[in-house]
Structure 1
Amino acid sequence: MAKSILTLLIIVVFTLIISFCFIILKEKDEKKPMEKKLITRKPAVAGSFYPKEKGVLSKKIDYFLTKAKKIDLPYNLRILIVPHAGIDYSGQTAAFGFKQIQEKNYKKIILLGASHHFYFDYAAISSSSVWETPLGKVPIDEDLRQKFFNKTQKIIIDENPHLLEHDLEVEVVFLQRVLKDFRILPILISHPSEELVKNLAKKIAENFDETTLLIVSTDLSHYPSYQIANQVDKATISAILTGKRKEFEEKIKAIEEKNLPGLDTALCGYEAIKIVLAFNELMGGFTAKLLFYQNSGDTSGNLAAVVGYASIGFYGELKHNWLSFDDNAKKEALFIARKTLVDYFEKNKITPFLPQSPHLFQKAGTFVTLRKNGNLRGCIGEFEPKPLYVQLQEVVLKSAFADPRFYPLTKEELSEIKIEISILSSPKKITDWKKIKLGQHGVIVEGYEKKGVFLPQVAQETGWSLEEFLSHLCAEKAGLSPDCYRDPNVSLFVFEVISFAEK
């Protein structure tokens, strides 16, 4: 009997050990990074919204582009609003928009549209690796997708809304005929909250540069008569051309409250346009221009129930360029820096900011200098470009608490501290040290696994000659020999700054 119990006990223990090992192995397996798989989104509407044969499709789009007029604009388009109906109906209108970007150097295309099949309260970014059409494959900008992804803000990666959707796919086939070597980031929304509208507009602004284009897919009035459609679409286009979200929303509300015969909606991409106009305002406001307008009555001949189409472009200089920093941006930057220190001392936390100035969304290196009674009390910077409003908070705390030359800043000192901010241009390598302009150029010296930086202000404050400036930089900041700037194995980089301080 005792032997049977012992045998049973051994079996139970052995079973538990095996089970435990299985659980551990399973957990380890679940924690292993998944192998990256190339996921291709196949075309959903080839053969219905556009021809499925490559040759036929190419010829049709090229025909539309040939008939479209190229407009002489002083700046590149930043936003393009185009229709998404079957290209036999809206293709010519869309072509007027795509004609303006033909053979331009756009590398990142953010595609934004409203879902026609699903109801959801988040922004759905395609999870695919590539999108395929009869014209070939277009890669997804996976780095950009990762920058947009934020589960807390309801900006998530979800392929389901994209599987059957036509409105972004129709734009991709046009892109394939007018651009080369570009990536896309397809985003669908349905019923976004006010917070999501603002957060998505902010994400776009944070990641926008000279090679980025935001394309928004929407048709205009749905199913009124030809005459009513012309009236409604004219008002809707006027609302979009204001570039202002609040005015747009008020005008669309007024249109739809009239309950005009046959009118289902003034535009199906209403929510997407809200995000676009919020983004436009963050960027300081581009100039909007109607490129072309038609409705389906013009292309089909059926005037009883039509759908409106427009191509609208927003163009302008990227005003968040570091050289165009205005007084409001400087004041807000200084406010963010000081408020960060105050909150850290009083609340022991960093309060996140959503800046009003479009300049603070740009990515740039930043230095923050702290002075107490005119004397240096801390100075640290970062050259890695990040959105300025984020970078400022990080760097001001490092200057206050992580400069190895000083003790950490105390709360009692804060009222005596003056903050100076330096916004940096991108460093450029030079081969002749004599071309450095004292007082204008900051300098980076790098070699033998050592590195040192002087801001332009150093030359202004010390009165050093160029040789003295570089000798101090080599010896004191980089820990190299004083004449290292003459060493062919040492690299020199120059940059410029916008510098401003509290009074």
Structure 2
Amino acid sequence: MEKIKLKVLFMNIIGLLLLILFSMIHLSCSAQEKEIEPNVAGSFYPSDEKELKEMIEGFLEKAKDIKREGRPIALISPHAGYIYSGGVAGYGYSAIKGFDYKNIIIIGPSHKVAFKGASVYVKGVFKTPLGPVKVNEALASKIIYEPSNIKFIPEVFEKEHSIEVQLPFLQSVLKDFTIVPIVIGSMDAKTFDRLASNIFSIVDERTLIIASSDLSHYHEYDVARSMDSNVIDAIERLSIHDLENLYSSRKGELCGYLPVLVTIEVSRMLGANVGRLYKYENSGDVIGLKDKVVGYASMGLYKIPFTNDDKNTLLSIAKSAIREFVINKKRIDIDVKNPVLKSDGAVFVTIKKDGLLRGCIGHVRPVMPLYQSVISNAISACSSDPRFEPVKSEELNDISIEISILSPLKKVRDINEIEVGRHGLVIRKGFYSGLLLPQVATEYGWDREKFLKQVSLKAGLYEDAWKDSDIYIFTADIIK
């Protein structure tokens, strides 16, 4: 009997050891980095290393005299075959050559697999004829959030080219970088907001975002140029609102529509306020056939600080808008050339008299060019704030004006994120919402909890409503 027990014990030990050994082998295999072979080498671009290097060097040489305007936060870059769009792409990559970017977030559309949400490649190596490019596992894993359909779906990348075609250019202009590849399928507002927020959370000063997208597809040459001009203008103004309207009305096209929107949103969160066109062509310009062409643009998104002249111009516009409306009940009509002031902006205009509030109205989101938003909200603040009577002509010499240019909203997950004096607050609960600008808490000497209670009351809620409401923070450039 004792021998049988020992035999059973021995067999159990052997079985356990085999199970442990099998698990170790399995873990070792699964921990190995998967190598993603190139999908379109030999078709979209040369599969021979020397030939590919020479081709890209030729593109970069033609773009070497590009005007540099600082360090881009993001690029919009085409992803067609290099004989069609490589020359255009070269301008964008020439603009980042020499900068010390180390983490590249590449966002492309899915051409082969239909799915909901976004797929983030979390671990592995993407290979090109110029060598391997490593995925930054630590950063990629921080973007994943499965409740919002942001996950890793391997098959999405198996035949996708929108990420791959950017890599040889990156390998030609940067050194020692890693990538975070993201492919987008269809997307609702919840996924969009979460993806933008998660990308924003991992970006530092050595991160570059690339939206991989071509423009219009298979229209006659002049029609394509007109459509593409509309899209380029909207991107230059970082206008998500106008891009949405162009796309839904079919007056503009981008195959990477959602990647471009996400890139603009994150860039705005990082302070970008203007887009620059480096180069535009369509396939008709390249090969001469103009009956059905595809458009390509290379663009950069930048943060251009407001100069004193910019600030004075906006204040002058606000004052003129108020004076003209109060005296003549007319809206001023002006033409602004400055691209920083033409970019879409979310603006609040505050009017004070003898240091006391006399009117304050604005837009939480950028829905029109900055200077037009100043005009609209200056007029509304002096005439339509329901808390006050309209400003009278005899008051015009006694009022002061303050302009607050808002950053994109960021949802608060922990109230300790709120920095009094730096952040403004937005609260939303059901049909109720309220906003307080950053300077309000400072002016009244509120702490964080008092600030939260006051924004709750501003929304028409009870003072502790913030505890079970959606809270958002934003920063503001304040001009006065």
Q: TM-score band, normalised by the shorter chain?
A: 0.5 to 0.7
2:283 paired with 1:296: yes
Quote how far apart the aligned CAs of 1:158 are: 2.3
Give the structure 2 partner of residue 198 of structure 1.
Answer: 193
Moved more, 86-95 or 231-240: 231-240
Give 2:293's match in structure 1, choosing from 297, 300, 306: 306
Q: Which of 256, 264, 269 lines up with 1:269 in the alignment? A: 256
Counterpart of 1:67 in structure 2 is 62
Report the TM-score, using the length of structure 2 for normalisation: 0.62
1:438 maps to what in 2? none
Q: Which amino acid aligns with 1:295?
A: N
CA distance in 1, matches of 2:469, 2:130: 44
The offset of 1:21, in angstroms, is 11
Q: CA deviation at 1:238?
A: 1.2
Map of 2:217 onto structure 1 = 222
Identity %: 32
Distance in 2 separating the partners of 1:62 and 1:43? 20
Q: In the superposition, relative to structure 1, how do residues 133 and 32 fare at CA in structure 2: closer, same or farther (>3 Å)? A: closer
| Deviation sequence 1:189-233 (CA, Å, 0-9, x none) | 010111111111111211122101000000000000111111111
Instruction: Name the counterpart of 2:348.
Output: none
**Closer, same or farther in 2 for the Cα pair 1:245/1:358, shift >3 Å?**
farther
Corresponding residue for residue 357 of structure 1: 474
- TM-aligned CA distance change 1:42 to 1:340, over 3 Å: farther
**Paired residue type of 1:292:** K
Residue matched to 1:280: 267
For the structure 1 residues 142 and 205, does the alpha-carbon distance in structure 2 shift closer, same or farther, using more than 3 Å as the test?
same
- For 2:266 and 2:230, how far apart are their aligned partners in 1? 22
Distance 2:441 2:15 in 1: 57
Q: CA deviation at 1:244?
A: 2.4
Does 2:27 align with 1:34?
yes
The answer on whether the counterparts of 2:213 and 2:256 sit within 8 Å (CA) in structure 1 is: yes
Residue 242 of structure 1 aligns with which residue? Answer: 237
Tell whether 2:85 aligns with 1:90: yes
Bigger mean CA deviation after superposition, 43-52 or 61-70:
61-70
Deviations 1:105-155 (A, max 9, x none): 101100001000011112111144211100011111111012112222222
CA distance in 1, matches of 2:150, 2:441: 27
With over 3 angstroms needed to count, the CA separation of the structure-2 counterparts of 1:356 and 1:122, relative to structure 1, is same
Counterparts of 1:377-456 in structure 2, within 5 Å, are none
Contact 1:126-1:187 within 8 A present in 2 as well: yes
Partner of 2:158: 163
The TM-score with structure 1 as length reference comes to 0.59
Amino acid at match of 1:296: S
Matched, 1:46 2:18: no
Q: Alpha carbons of 1:312 and 1:354: their partners in 2 closer, same or farther (altered >3 Å)?
A: farther
In structure 2, C-alpha distance between the alignment counterparts of 1:283 and 1:329, rounded to whole Å: 18
Determine if contact 2:423/2:475 at 8 Å carries over to the other structure.
no
Q: Structure 2 vs 1, CA of residues 113 and 332 (structure 1 numbering), >3 Å: closer, same or farther?
A: farther
Q: Please give the alpha-carbon distance, in whole angstroms, between the structure 2 residues aligned to 1:331 and 1:55.
A: 61
Structure 2, unaligned runs of 5 or more:
306-406, 409-418, 425-436, 457-462
SS state at 1:100 partner: helix
Does the CA-based 8 Å contact 1:340-1:351 persist in structure 2?
A: no
Instruction: Let me know the Cα RMSD of the aligned residues.
Output: 3.9
CA distance in 2, matches of 1:120, 1:338: 44
- What secondary structure is seen at the aligned counterpart in 2 of 1:307? strand
Task: Choose 215-224 or 269-278, whichever is displaced more.
Answer: 269-278
Show the 5 A alignment for 1:39-188: 39-188=34-183
Question: CA contact under 8 A between 1:80 and 1:214: conserved in structure 2?
Answer: yes
Give distance in 1, aligned partners of 2:103 and 2:450.
35
Deviates more, 1:158-167 or 1:331-340: 331-340
Partners of 2:448 and 2:203 in 1: how far apart? 22
Query: Partners in 1 of 2:244 and 2:16 — Cα distance?
Result: 55
Amino acid at match of 1:274: L
Contact 1:332–1:355, Cα closer than 8 Å, also in 2: no
Give the drift of 1:354: 6.0
Query: CA 1:352/1:154 → structure 2, altered by over 3 Å: closer, same or farther?
Result: farther
**Residue among 204, 208, 211 paired with 2:206:** 211
Distance 1:336 1:70, change over 3 A: farther
Cα displacement string for residues 88-121 of structure 1 (whole angstroms, at most 9, x for unaligned residues): 0000000011100001110110000100001111
The answer on whether the counterparts of 1:282 and 1:358 sit within 8 Å (CA) in structure 2 is: no
Aligned residue in 1 for 2:379: none
SS of the residue aligned with 1:144? helix
The answer on whether the counterparts of 1:42 and 1:131 sit within 8 Å (CA) in structure 2 is yes
Q: Structure 1 residue 278: deviation in Å?
A: 2.2
8 Å contact from structure 1 (residues 284, 358) kept in 2: no
Distance across 2 between alignment mates of 1:305 and 1:314 = 29
Unmatched tracts of structure 1, length 5 or more: 1-9, 257-264, 360-503
User: 1:109 aligns to what SS in structure 2?
Assistant: strand
